[in-house]
Amino acid sequence: MNAVDHTLLSVENLRKTFSIRGGFFRKPLTLTALDDVTFTVKTGETLGIVGESGCGKSTLGRCILQLLKPDDGKVLWLGQDLVGLRAEAMRLWRQDLQVIFQDPLASLNPRMTVGDIIADPLRALKPDLSRAERRARVIRMMEAVGLLPEMINRYPHEFSGGQAQRIGIARALITEPKLIVCDEPVSALDVSIQAQILNLLADLKDEFGLTLVFISHDLGVVRHVSDRIMVLYLGRIVEMAPGDALYAAPKHPYTRALLTAVPIADPKRARERTIEGLVGEVPSPINPPSGCHFRTRCPYAIDDCAKARPPLEPAGDERVVACIRWREIDEKGLAAATRATTGAGDVPSPEAELRLEEVQKPGFTPEDPRPDLL
């Protein structure tokens, strides 16, 4: 999809942990959401990011946008490291980097009109624009995303989910960004509406020369839009490859398992299901398995998989894979064993599980995003 070989964003050795406090007398635990993540995004391409829920996709998106501060690593935007920039310096770049969230209605202020919602980023980022100029831009953007300009004074609750997401997209586009992080932008929508929004994003990408980082737990959706795809598992990249190559011949056992998942037509059931073809749940990021994090669910796991983190190795065709057995599996068509070996570190401690449940309760925010940058 007309990607030019020019690096726009370069993420280097990114690490993000959350400290989970558990009341007095309990030692804080560390949850590793991102562990040494390195990749680049080229101008004009769409990089898809997939993985099951809890694998770190949203955290990665937020670290790119500097809505969360990474513990370590760099986020180079056109060569400039955004990590650690003060709010004022970051504001200069903010208009270049925008975001579209999963739940369109929840992400729109119910007390603001559509016109004010879409214009909001302009007030902060382009304060010199006159009222009339702002309004003209808002109307142009409403038309671009398929909203009627006469809806400008309406409130979000008057819109369907699909229309609300169009408002979210207009708000993201209004500052003429270069890159948009789309975090599960269609996961909350009915299947019929999903296709409309995906097509709209593809059209807008061409029209405005956008670069997209497209996050989804759904490989079907990601396939539809992505030039390259990154597969994340427990905060680590396990495979990254051009979309066609990844689907035609997945190399990492996790990617293979994801691809065996059968599509489910009912969106509610599809959202609730865990990935088929995979044994069990994603282990706790507080106490992940040693060595290869995937080994407790991998049908090809051997004892060596527990010893060290598998390095990301080049595997041809711009592909990288983090599995010590990918060649063997690929070349010999190795048969999968029924179940992985298990060893120390497989089963999270009850304490870790309990804390994780607390963290995953809605509304739990031990670390606020950087409100100064929002």
Q: Which stretches of the chain bind ligand SF4, using CB under 6 A?
A: 253, 292, 294-295, 298, 300-301, 305, 310, 323-325
When CB distances are held under 5 to 8 angstroms depending on the partner's kind, the choice from ligand SF4, Mg ion, ligand ADP, none that residue 156 binds is: none
User: Side chain identity at 335, as an amino acid letter?
Assistant: A
Q: Is 53 a residue that touches ligand ADP (CB under 6 A)?
A: yes
Minimum separation from the CB atom of position 233 to ligand ADP (A): 10
Cβ proximity to ligand SF4, 201 vs 301, nearer residue: 301
Is residue 40 within a helix (H) or strand (E), and if so which, with residue range?
Answer: strand 29-42
Minimum separation from the CB atom of position 102 to Mg ion (A): 7
DSSP 43: T
| Stretch of 54-62, 92-100, 244-252, 341-349 lying at the interface with ligand ADP (CB under 6 A) | 54-62
Q: Which of 8, 9, 18, 297 binds ligand ADP (CB under 6 A)?
A: 18
Q: Is 360 a residue that touches ligand ADP (CB under 6 A)?
A: yes
Minimum separation from the CB atom of position 288 to ligand ADP (A): 10
Q: What is the C-alpha to C-alpha distance for residues 21 and 331, in angstroms, rounded to an integer? A: 47
| DSSP secondary structure of 6-36 | -EEEEEEEEEEEEEE--STTS--EEEEEEEE
Q: How far is CA 135 from CA 150, 171, 365, in A?
A: 12, 13, 35
Cβ proximity to ligand ADP, 181 vs 324, nearer residue: 181
DSSP, collapsed to helix, strand or coil, labels residue 321 as: strand
Minimum separation from the CB atom of position 368 to ligand ADP (A): 8
Cβ proximity to ligand SF4, 77 vs 294, nearer residue: 294
How many CB atoms within 10 Å of residue 327? 14
Minimum separation from the CB atom of position 292 to ligand ADP (A): 18
When CB distances are held under 5 to 8 angstroms depending on the partner's kind, the choice from Mg ion, ligand SF4, ligand ADP, none that residue 255 binds is: none
Minimum separation from the CB atom of position 56 to Mg ion (A): 8
Q: What is the C-alpha to C-alpha distance for residues 275 and 82, in angstroms, rounded to an integer? A: 35
Q: Which of 8, 37, 55, 83 binds ligand ADP (CB under 6 A)?
A: 55
Compute φ and ψ for 213, nearest 5 degrees.
-110, 115
| Stretch of 57-65, 195-203, 305-313, 323-331 lying at the interface with Mg ion (CB under 5 A) | 57-65
**Which is nearest to 31 in space by CA: 14, 65, 11, 55?**
55
The count of residues interacting with Mg ion (CB under 5 A) is: 2
Is residue 5 within a helix (H) or strand (E), and if so which, with residue range?
Answer: none
When CB distances are held under 5 to 8 angstroms depending on the partner's kind, the choice from ligand ADP, Mg ion, ligand SF4, none that residue 310 binds is: ligand SF4
Minimum separation from the CB atom of position 20 to Mg ion (A): 18
Q: Is 51 a residue that touches ligand ADP (CB under 6 A)?
A: yes
Q: What is the C-alpha to C-alpha distance for residues 312 and 232, in angstroms, rounded to an integer? A: 12
- Interface with ligand ADP in residues 268-297 (CB under 6 A): 285
Q: How far is CA 215 from CA 2, 101, 212, 225, in A?
A: 20, 10, 9, 11
| DSSP secondary structure of 91-142 | HHHHTTEEEE-S-TTTTS-TTS-HHHHHHHHHHHH-TTS-HHHHHHHHHHHH
Q: Is 58 a residue that touches Mg ion (CB under 5 A)?
A: yes
- Tell me the per-residue interface mask from 307 to 346 with ligand ADP, x by CB under 6 A, - otherwise: ----------------------------------------
Cβ proximity to ligand ADP, 52 vs 96, nearer residue: 52
Q: What is the CA radius of gyration of the chain?
A: 21
Compute φ and ψ for 364, nearest 5 degrees.
-80, 115
Cβ proximity to ligand SF4, 125 vs 322, nearer residue: 322
Q: What is the C-alpha to C-alpha distance for residues 31 and 12, in angstroms, rounded to an integer? A: 20
Binding site for Mg ion (CB under 5 A): 57-58
Binding site for ligand ADP (CB under 6 A): 18, 31, 33, 51, 53-59, 285, 359-360, 365-367
